[in-house]
Amino acid sequence: MATHTPHTRTYEYLAPFTDFAQVAQLDGLELMRRVLAGELPAPPITATLGFTLVEVERGRAAFEGTTADWQYNPLGTVHGGWSATLLDSALGCAVHSTLAAGELYTTIDLQVRFLRPVVATSGRMRAEAQVVHAGRRIATADARLVGGDGKLYATATASCLVMGASH
């Protein structure tokens, strides 16, 4: 039987942003650009799961993360939840980038299709999302998870409910 040695993983993150009145006048794209520029803290989940926002423009967002063995499931592959969260983040931020000042969104549904296994040696993964429809109440987006090898590892779609800040 193999010997299993303990590993330690530590990381730092900035306290989550909570002063929403400070950014209520910003549209979604401006808020995302400020997070990208480091003027506003990234959500702590990005540090926890080891990925980051790397691009944002109106209706589009991209996140990147590097695979590692600490992301493994019992089958010896990167847990699907890691890939799904990377995709979900890109999808949500793509939608967020289309919102007017004072608007919020919440995900209605997320569908992920895993096309090939992701392992610790897969390296840098990139989730790119594009808004397909930005309506008054519902927005939808599509995303792709591509490895540094150029292969497509997963695709995803999401629908989001757009709300005013008072909801």
The number of distinct structural domains making up the chain is 1
Strand partners, 156: 112, 143
Judge whether 6 lies within some domain.
Answer: no
pLDDT at 165 over 60: yes
Domain coverage including residue 151: 21-164
Nearest residue to 127 via CA among 86, 166, 165, 160: 86
CA–CA separation, 124 vs 112, rounded Å? Answer: 19
CATH number of the domain enclosing 101: 3.10.129.10
Residue 32: predicted pLDDT: 97
Judge whether 14 lies within some domain.
Answer: no
Judge whether 117 lies within some domain.
Answer: yes
**Taking a C-beta distance cutoff of 8 angstroms, is the pair 38, 32 a contact?**
no
Handedness of CA 38, 39, 45, 48 (dihedral sign): positive
Judge whether 87 lies within some domain.
Answer: yes
CA–CA separation, 133 vs 142, rounded Å? Answer: 10
Residue 167: predicted pLDDT: 44
> pTM of the predicted model, to two decimals?
0.94
Judge whether 76 lies within some domain.
Answer: yes
Judge whether 1 lies within some domain.
Answer: no
Nearest residue to 92 via CA among 130, 54, 38, 37: 130
CA–CA separation, 70 vs 64, rounded Å? Answer: 17
pLDDT tens-digit readout, 91-138: 999 999 999 999 999 999 999 999 999 999 999 999 999 999 999 999
CA–CA separation, 36 vs 96, rounded Å? Answer: 13
pLDDT at 166 over 60: no
pLDDT at 2 over 90: no
Average pLDDT over residues 7-24: 88
